[in-house]
Structure 1
């Protein structure tokens, strides 16, 4: 199994996501860790008032067969940040993987100034599709600029639900969209080849569609009513009812020593599978359960996480819901 990078702690605002991107250009080793999938609100995320995406990522037709979702899941994002392409922009550093679908390079431009580049495969996009007014390598693209700090270049690979290759550039000393376009063009070319593909390890969830995995009965039990389905990227799915929601997330990356994911976690038994449970008592209480699906080299591995949540007024046992949902998933997951 390839080594994966340790995720940073979750933050709750788009500005924090941007701060991580720009801070990655510095020398602080911790700042160089790319955001973990879904751990931050993306700086180019859709307006929450927009109509939600429904259905699974596999329900849409890709703009090119090379970008079918099952192929995107097997792309190694670090192999899409080609050293030859990056050397045209300056001096690349080591690639820093971030989960299944993200990779960063916190490099220097030709003048020795900080230039951070992150590519994400299969990022969820909504408004970007309608706003896509440019083309890169023959495919529709959209650029968003955050003044004086970053550029996001999205190359659309699928319309419904919307998916894209997104290149994020942190560059305070120049127009980030210029290197962003060059990197995006290289990413598309490499993604269509064979050298960027990887082989899933036995027992890996990297190829599993999270929206298609649970049974209808398990989803209905988790949400009480027929929910709306929200795929997010390639490895996350949420089912949202009126007063209850359930989220399933597959993550690749750092597995802490002794599985200490959270200081407040409680060990539970999911019918022979050791898992860890954490409850919150905010205005939107939740219960999160996670377990190690696969262990790789050192502290690398894969984690499955389920989360039951709902408004405070909704009185139901969130941990009981999460445990029931998790137990229903276990027989369907790959085995090492």
Structure 2
């Protein structure tokens, strides 16, 4: 990256611009920071191109298409102004190389990388097609390799399935010849199967290092796409069959994205990028954080050289910017050590942001890599993730992170230390089962909400590790908090204390019972006869045959086909789970209503308040 020039804008809407990522014929891409602290890549179109009505119309369509796609494995668009003097679009900043750059620099991907790439691209297609779109320009420079999987970007020539807005001359072909489908090369009407063909071509490139249809000229490339069979002999056998099916010339014979995703189950290699890609991602993120710390100022080292900064653009960025797409990251060299990312910073996260924090990403190698080698992570709740960590001294331990949860005053004491403007609390816990050392950053006093790290073991070394891990997590949250990508109608987005209508609380627990937040995903109401908590979280499903749960229809089916799972204990406590949607494997987005009776009489009918309270939450969710 390089500093902003004298003619570069300092703001794009509500986003403060910090540095120049790159520029090309269509415009430039700038690093920005939104008011909530997230980093954004702002694509800003050159003024002279914006004066062209056709170009502005095409950019407006790109904005509309990008905003329709909000699912996983796409770079979410946060804001845009296609009508500005210099039209711009701000998407989530994605540190990491493009697929094109990764293959050019490191060669063919190992099987674990191919597994992650295939699953991510299939998932991205499912979200794009669910939004009613065909991407129409899937190619290696439009796929960025983020830490947890690929991100599909640049919907500049995407087209809605229900409409066919023609902005090109009759008979013209729009797209990237080496990765377009045969029907696109011949100018025919496109379906979602066209994108599947493009994914197949990219998988061949990733597996072999070579494009399957690239010829000496554009006409030759288009001829190869339409008439020649791709050479897949070097694609790993476990992936070869589905790749060949993706590249079938007949769209009807290609797999659907869900079928492509299902095929990944046959790959036994652990999903993950090669070390070189992971190092690039970590380097890119560090570079971005350095520019955030500078806050738009020119580095002193650059001033000493007369304002010149040596910078090298990754191949992905040069191609993307030239094509008008979103950006990856430019790499700086020869600079001084980046400043402390927590210097003069204050950790500010709203409850809305905390509800969206991806806790397991905060335990990833790019956050905790300096402390050891992270092992597999285990998501327990939306707020909670655990991970095995092999420290640099060879010691194996478990690190558990809680984000946006209650920090018990009885367990945590003020240490007298502050980090990023937040008081740090200390805790040690001993039992016959486990010893833990904890450190927490307090974000709220009432309720006591914070960020907590527990490390297995209560010795001095474990406490030092807990503090180091907490600082690393805070640094990431203060600069670019990793957020989960959720549909608009997601229970996890909701404030649990406002998710239940007060009239329902009054009729179920008594008039005047008020909501009391427990953490960002859980709320409690204390009535005369029972306490009720509502938790809106992503967690393990309970409708898969666990013996203590009974699966049934809500209110005997009188309220419609709403399935719930329910359990009661010997004290009469009633817990009701309703799965809003399935997520990964055996997990789902849940609404959990717990009724804890305060007397024997109340325990006889403890489940009674659950049904109207659950229905109130679901009605509020449907209205969002």
Shorter-chain TM-score above 0.5: yes
Taking the TM superposition and a 5 Å limit, the aligned residue runs for 1:1-336 are 66-127=348-409, 131-146=414-429, 149-171=435-457, 174-194=460-480, 196-227=482-513, 229-256=515-542, 259-269=544-554, 271-278=559-566, 280=568, 282=570, 284-315=571-602, 317-334=605-622
Q: How much does 1:222 deviate?
A: 2.1
Structure-1-length-normalised TM-score = 0.72
- 1:22-57 per-residue CA deviation (whole Å, 9 max, x = no partner) reads xxxxxxxxxxxxxxxxxxxxxxxxxxxxxxxxxxxx
The size of the alignment, in residue pairs, is: 275
Structure 1 distance, partners of 2:501, 2:361, is 35
Structure 2 distance, partners of 1:277, 1:150, is 33
- Bigger helix share: 2
Give secondary structure in 2 for the equivalent of 1:168. strand
Structure 1 residues 299, 208: closer, same or farther in 2, change over 3 A? same
Q: Which runs of 5+ in 1 are unaligned?
A: 3-62
Q: Which runs of 5+ in 2 are unaligned?
A: 1-70, 73-344
Structure 2 distance, partners of 1:314, 1:226, is 22
Structure 1 residues 295, 281: closer, same or farther in 2, change over 3 A? closer
**Taking CA–CA contacts closer than 8 Å with sequence separation of 6 or more, which of the two structures ends up with the larger relative contact order?**
1
**Cα pair 2:347 2:421 within 8 Å, conserved:** no
Q: How much does 1:292 deviate?
A: 1.1
**Cα pair 1:225 1:242 within 8 Å, conserved:** no
Structure 1 residues 335, 193: closer, same or farther in 2, change over 3 A? farther
Q: How much does 1:329 deviate?
A: 2.5
Structure 1 residues 146, 269: closer, same or farther in 2, change over 3 A? closer
- 1:208-236 per-residue CA deviation (whole Å, 9 max, x = no partner) reads 11111111111122212433533222111
**Cα pair 1:105 1:118 within 8 Å, conserved:** yes
RMSD in angstroms over aligned alpha carbons? 2.9
Bigger Cα Rg: 2
Q: Which moved more, 1:149-158 or 1:78-87?
A: 78-87
Q: How much does 1:104 deviate?
A: 1.8
Structure 2 distance, partners of 1:68, 1:261, is 36
Structure 1 residues 79, 298: closer, same or farther in 2, change over 3 A? closer
- Bigger strand share: 1
Give secondary structure in 2 for the equivalent of 1:227. coil
Structure 2 distance, partners of 1:207, 1:276, is 21
- 1:40-89 per-residue CA deviation (whole Å, 9 max, x = no partner) reads xxxxxxxxxxxxxxxxxxxxxxx967311111111111222241443322
Q: Which moved more, 1:134-143 or 1:150-159?
A: 134-143
**Cα pair 2:371 2:469 within 8 Å, conserved:** no
Q: What is aligned with 2:116? A: none
Structure 1 distance, partners of 2:585, 2:567, is 29
